Amino acid sequence: MIATGVRATARIVAREDGRGGTALPVLEGDGPLALRRTRASGSEARVMLVGAMSGPLGGDHFAVEADVESGARLRIGSAAATIALPGQAKGESRYDVRLSVAEDGELHWLPEQLISVHGSDLHVTTRVEVAQSARLVLREEQVLGRAGEEPGRLTSRLSVRVAGRTVLDQELACGPGAPGGWDGPAVLAGHRAVGQLLVVRPEFTREPVAARMLGEHAALVPLAGPAVLVTALATDGLRLRRVLDEALASLG
Protein backbone atom coordinates (compact mmCIF):
# COMPACT_ATOMS: atom_id res chain seq x y z
CA MET A 1 0.00 0.00 0.00
CA ILE A 2 1.40 3.39 -1.00
CA ALA A 3 0.77 5.90 1.78
CA THR A 4 1.59 9.07 -0.12
CA GLY A 5 1.59 10.01 -3.75
CA VAL A 6 4.45 10.92 -6.04
CA ARG A 7 5.95 14.42 -5.93
CA ALA A 8 7.62 15.52 -9.15
CA THR A 9 8.62 18.85 -10.71
CA ALA A 10 9.92 19.25 -14.25
CA ARG A 11 11.82 22.45 -15.07
CA ILE A 12 12.61 24.17 -18.36
CA VAL A 13 14.49 27.41 -19.00
CA ALA A 14 14.76 28.76 -22.55
CA ARG A 15 17.40 31.37 -23.37
CA GLU A 16 18.50 33.17 -26.54
CA ASP A 17 21.74 31.47 -27.63
CA GLY A 18 23.21 34.56 -29.36
CA ARG A 19 23.31 32.74 -32.72
CA GLY A 20 19.68 33.21 -33.70
CA GLY A 21 18.46 30.14 -31.85
CA THR A 22 17.14 29.19 -28.41
CA ALA A 23 19.18 27.21 -25.89
CA LEU A 24 17.75 25.18 -23.02
CA PRO A 25 20.17 25.69 -20.10
CA VAL A 26 17.69 23.91 -17.83
CA LEU A 27 15.83 20.82 -19.01
CA GLU A 28 15.13 18.71 -15.94
CA GLY A 29 12.57 15.96 -15.99
CA ASP A 30 11.58 14.31 -12.73
CA GLY A 31 10.17 10.81 -12.16
CA PRO A 32 6.91 10.56 -14.13
CA LEU A 33 7.63 13.78 -16.04
CA ALA A 34 10.34 13.15 -18.64
CA LEU A 35 11.45 15.92 -21.02
CA ARG A 36 12.82 15.37 -24.51
CA ARG A 37 14.26 18.07 -26.72
CA THR A 38 13.07 17.61 -30.31
CA ARG A 39 14.28 19.17 -33.55
CA ALA A 40 14.20 22.98 -33.46
CA SER A 41 12.24 24.99 -36.00
CA GLY A 42 14.13 28.18 -36.93
CA SER A 43 14.81 30.16 -33.75
CA GLU A 44 12.28 28.07 -31.77
CA ALA A 45 13.37 25.31 -29.40
CA ARG A 46 10.96 22.41 -29.00
CA VAL A 47 10.37 20.23 -25.98
CA MET A 48 8.16 17.19 -25.60
CA LEU A 49 6.76 16.23 -22.22
CA VAL A 50 6.68 12.43 -21.97
CA GLY A 51 4.74 10.63 -19.27
CA ALA A 52 7.12 8.01 -17.87
CA MET A 53 4.55 6.64 -15.41
CA SER A 54 0.76 6.68 -15.46
CA GLY A 55 -0.99 9.39 -13.54
CA PRO A 56 -1.43 11.63 -11.80
CA LEU A 57 -3.02 9.18 -9.39
CA GLY A 58 -4.81 10.14 -6.19
CA GLY A 59 -2.36 11.88 -3.84
CA ASP A 60 0.19 12.67 -6.57
CA HIS A 61 1.50 16.18 -6.95
CA PHE A 62 3.03 17.00 -10.33
CA ALA A 63 4.41 20.37 -11.39
CA VAL A 64 5.87 21.81 -14.57
CA GLU A 65 7.78 25.10 -14.52
CA ALA A 66 8.91 26.77 -17.72
CA ASP A 67 10.61 30.15 -18.01
CA VAL A 68 11.18 31.72 -21.39
CA GLU A 69 13.81 34.41 -21.03
CA SER A 70 13.89 37.61 -23.06
CA GLY A 71 13.99 37.02 -26.81
CA ALA A 72 13.85 33.22 -26.54
CA ARG A 73 11.26 31.07 -28.33
CA LEU A 74 9.96 27.79 -26.97
CA ARG A 75 7.27 25.29 -27.92
CA ILE A 76 6.19 22.63 -25.45
CA GLY A 77 3.98 19.72 -26.40
CA SER A 78 3.27 16.36 -24.84
CA ALA A 79 3.64 12.88 -26.28
CA ALA A 80 0.26 11.63 -25.07
CA ALA A 81 -2.82 12.62 -23.14
CA THR A 82 -2.50 13.10 -19.38
CA ILE A 83 -4.82 10.71 -17.61
CA ALA A 84 -6.07 11.53 -14.12
CA LEU A 85 -6.65 8.24 -12.31
CA PRO A 86 -7.91 7.21 -8.92
CA GLY A 87 -5.07 5.95 -6.72
CA GLN A 88 -4.38 3.85 -3.67
CA ALA A 89 -3.31 6.96 -1.77
CA LYS A 90 -6.32 8.87 -0.49
CA GLY A 91 -7.14 12.37 -1.47
CA GLU A 92 -6.95 14.63 -4.46
CA SER A 93 -4.06 14.86 -6.87
CA ARG A 94 -2.58 18.14 -8.07
CA TYR A 95 -1.03 19.28 -11.29
CA ASP A 96 0.51 22.76 -11.15
CA VAL A 97 1.82 24.50 -14.24
CA ARG A 98 3.77 27.74 -13.89
CA LEU A 99 4.86 29.50 -17.07
CA SER A 100 6.63 32.82 -17.63
CA VAL A 101 7.54 34.64 -20.80
CA ALA A 102 9.93 37.62 -20.59
CA GLU A 103 10.13 40.62 -22.96
CA ASP A 104 10.20 39.69 -26.66
CA GLY A 105 9.97 36.00 -25.74
CA GLU A 106 7.45 33.57 -27.17
CA LEU A 107 5.94 30.42 -25.71
CA HIS A 108 3.60 27.88 -27.24
CA TRP A 109 2.17 25.60 -24.53
CA LEU A 110 0.26 22.92 -26.43
CA PRO A 111 -0.09 19.76 -24.34
CA GLU A 112 -2.43 16.95 -25.32
CA GLN A 113 -5.78 16.47 -23.59
CA LEU A 114 -6.30 15.87 -19.92
CA ILE A 115 -8.66 12.94 -19.41
CA SER A 116 -10.55 12.81 -16.12
CA VAL A 117 -11.20 9.14 -15.38
CA HIS A 118 -14.11 8.01 -13.20
CA GLY A 119 -13.11 8.05 -9.53
CA SER A 120 -10.18 10.45 -9.97
CA ASP A 121 -9.98 13.82 -8.19
CA LEU A 122 -7.56 16.28 -9.75
CA HIS A 123 -6.88 19.98 -9.17
CA VAL A 124 -5.06 21.66 -12.03
CA THR A 125 -3.64 25.15 -11.58
CA THR A 126 -2.04 26.98 -14.48
CA ARG A 127 -0.42 30.35 -13.76
CA VAL A 128 1.13 32.36 -16.53
CA GLU A 129 3.11 35.62 -16.40
CA VAL A 130 3.59 37.31 -19.76
CA ALA A 131 5.72 40.45 -20.25
CA GLN A 132 4.37 43.43 -22.18
CA SER A 133 6.12 42.62 -25.48
CA ALA A 134 6.00 38.81 -25.14
CA ARG A 135 3.77 36.37 -27.00
CA LEU A 136 1.87 33.31 -25.83
CA VAL A 137 -0.27 30.56 -27.29
CA LEU A 138 -1.77 28.28 -24.65
CA ARG A 139 -4.18 25.41 -25.18
CA GLU A 140 -6.02 23.46 -22.51
CA GLU A 141 -8.37 20.58 -23.25
CA GLN A 142 -10.28 18.52 -20.75
CA VAL A 143 -12.08 15.32 -21.62
CA LEU A 144 -14.55 14.27 -18.94
CA GLY A 145 -14.36 10.50 -18.65
CA ARG A 146 -13.11 7.90 -21.10
CA ALA A 147 -15.59 6.78 -23.79
CA GLY A 148 -19.00 6.19 -22.24
CA GLU A 149 -17.70 6.64 -18.69
CA GLU A 150 -18.76 9.11 -16.03
CA PRO A 151 -15.98 11.64 -15.32
CA GLY A 152 -13.95 12.00 -12.17
CA ARG A 153 -13.83 15.24 -10.25
CA LEU A 154 -11.81 17.91 -11.97
CA THR A 155 -11.10 21.49 -10.95
CA SER A 156 -9.03 23.52 -13.33
CA ARG A 157 -7.91 27.12 -12.76
CA LEU A 158 -6.23 29.28 -15.35
CA SER A 159 -4.75 32.65 -14.32
CA VAL A 160 -2.90 34.84 -16.78
CA ARG A 161 -1.14 38.12 -16.13
CA VAL A 162 0.14 40.38 -18.87
CA ALA A 163 2.59 43.09 -17.77
CA GLY A 164 1.57 42.43 -14.16
CA ARG A 165 -2.19 42.82 -14.80
CA THR A 166 -4.51 39.84 -14.51
CA VAL A 167 -6.34 39.51 -17.82
CA LEU A 168 -7.93 36.12 -17.14
CA ASP A 169 -8.76 34.22 -13.98
CA GLN A 170 -11.16 31.33 -14.38
CA GLU A 171 -11.87 28.05 -12.71
CA LEU A 172 -14.03 25.25 -14.04
CA ALA A 173 -15.22 22.61 -11.57
CA CYS A 174 -16.98 19.50 -12.79
CA GLY A 175 -17.67 15.88 -11.98
CA PRO A 176 -19.17 14.20 -8.89
CA GLY A 177 -18.98 16.45 -5.84
CA ALA A 178 -18.56 19.65 -7.87
CA PRO A 179 -20.95 22.53 -7.05
CA GLY A 180 -24.46 21.89 -8.40
CA GLY A 181 -25.46 22.60 -11.97
CA TRP A 182 -22.02 21.85 -13.50
CA ASP A 183 -23.56 19.59 -16.14
CA GLY A 184 -26.66 21.75 -16.59
CA PRO A 185 -27.72 24.30 -19.22
CA ALA A 186 -25.61 27.17 -17.80
CA VAL A 187 -22.30 25.32 -17.60
CA LEU A 188 -21.62 22.19 -19.73
CA ALA A 189 -25.07 20.85 -20.73
CA GLY A 190 -23.82 17.30 -21.17
CA HIS A 191 -20.75 18.15 -23.26
CA ARG A 192 -17.83 15.90 -22.38
CA ALA A 193 -14.97 17.90 -23.90
CA VAL A 194 -14.15 21.47 -22.91
CA GLY A 195 -11.22 23.54 -24.02
CA GLN A 196 -9.64 26.95 -24.05
CA LEU A 197 -7.16 28.55 -26.36
CA LEU A 198 -5.49 31.72 -25.15
CA VAL A 199 -3.40 33.92 -27.41
CA VAL A 200 -1.47 36.92 -26.07
CA ARG A 201 0.11 39.28 -28.59
CA PRO A 202 1.23 42.87 -28.06
CA GLU A 203 -0.34 43.95 -31.36
CA PHE A 204 -3.84 43.15 -30.03
CA THR A 205 -3.60 46.49 -28.18
CA ARG A 206 -3.46 48.40 -31.49
CA GLU A 207 -5.58 46.02 -33.56
CA PRO A 208 -8.22 44.50 -31.30
CA VAL A 209 -9.90 41.31 -32.51
CA ALA A 210 -13.71 41.35 -32.64
CA ALA A 211 -15.71 38.69 -30.79
CA ARG A 212 -17.19 35.97 -32.97
CA MET A 213 -18.96 32.64 -32.68
CA LEU A 214 -17.19 29.51 -33.88
CA GLY A 215 -20.18 27.31 -34.46
CA GLU A 216 -22.86 26.88 -31.83
CA HIS A 217 -20.75 25.93 -28.79
CA ALA A 218 -17.58 27.98 -29.11
CA ALA A 219 -16.75 31.67 -29.07
CA LEU A 220 -13.65 33.73 -29.69
CA VAL A 221 -13.52 36.83 -27.49
CA PRO A 222 -11.13 39.69 -26.83
CA LEU A 223 -10.21 39.90 -23.13
CA ALA A 224 -9.74 43.15 -21.22
CA GLY A 225 -6.05 43.26 -22.22
CA PRO A 226 -3.91 42.27 -25.23
CA ALA A 227 -5.28 38.73 -25.33
CA VAL A 228 -7.88 36.63 -27.10
CA LEU A 229 -9.63 33.62 -25.58
CA VAL A 230 -11.47 30.82 -27.33
CA THR A 231 -13.80 28.78 -25.15
CA ALA A 232 -15.21 25.67 -26.77
CA LEU A 233 -17.42 22.74 -25.83
CA ALA A 234 -17.72 19.57 -27.86
CA THR A 235 -19.05 16.05 -27.59
CA ASP A 236 -15.52 14.58 -27.74
CA GLY A 237 -11.85 15.47 -27.78
CA LEU A 238 -11.40 15.16 -31.55
CA ARG A 239 -14.15 17.62 -32.39
CA LEU A 240 -12.85 19.97 -29.69
CA ARG A 241 -9.34 19.94 -31.18
CA ARG A 242 -10.72 20.75 -34.62
CA VAL A 243 -12.49 23.88 -33.31
CA LEU A 244 -9.41 25.11 -31.41
CA ASP A 245 -7.07 24.43 -34.36
CA GLU A 246 -9.33 26.34 -36.73
CA ALA A 247 -9.56 29.23 -34.28
CA LEU A 248 -5.78 29.45 -33.99
CA ALA A 249 -5.36 29.31 -37.77
CA SER A 250 -7.93 32.11 -38.18
CA LEU A 251 -5.83 34.41 -35.95
CA GLY A 252 -2.97 34.12 -38.44
**Nearest CA to 201 among 128, 107, 136, 127?**
136
By CB under 8 A, tell whether 1 contacts other proteins: no
Task: Work out which of 25, 91, 176, 181 binds other proteins, going by CB under 8 A.
Answer: 181
Nearest distance in Å: CB 178, other proteins = 8
Q: How far is the CB of 199 from other proteins (least distance, A)?
A: 13
Taking the complex as a whole, how short is the minimal distance between the CB of residue 125 and other proteins, in angstroms? 11
Q: Which of 48, 222, 239, 251 touches other proteins by CB under 8 A?
A: 222
d(CA 192, CA 210): 28
Residue span binding other proteins (CB under 8 A) among the ranges 3-11, 22-30, 213-221, 244-252: 213-221
Identity of the residue, 93 or 142, whose beta carbon is nearer to other proteins in the bound complex: 142
98 sits near other proteins (criterion: CB under 8 A):
no
Question: Shortest Cβ distance from residue 88 to other proteins (Å)?
Answer: 31
What is d(CA 133, CA 104) in angstroms, rounded to the nearest whole number? 5
Q: Does 207 bind other proteins (CB under 8 A)?
A: no
Of 85, 134, 229, 248, the one binding other proteins (CB under 8 A) is 229
Stretch that binds other proteins, among 88-96, 117-125, 183-191, 235-243 (CB under 8 A): 183-191
Establish if 186 lies at the interface with other proteins (CB under 8 A).
yes
Cis peptide bond upstream of 56, omega within 30 = yes
180 in contact with other proteins (CB under 8 A): yes
Segment 123 to 162, residues that bind other proteins, using CB under 8 A: 157, 159
Asked if 247 interacts with other proteins (CB under 8 A), we say: no
Closer residue to other proteins in complex, CB, 47/167: 167
- Name the residues that contact other proteins, by CB under 8 A: 157, 159, 165-173, 179-182, 184-189, 194, 211-213, 216-219, 221-224, 229, 231, 233
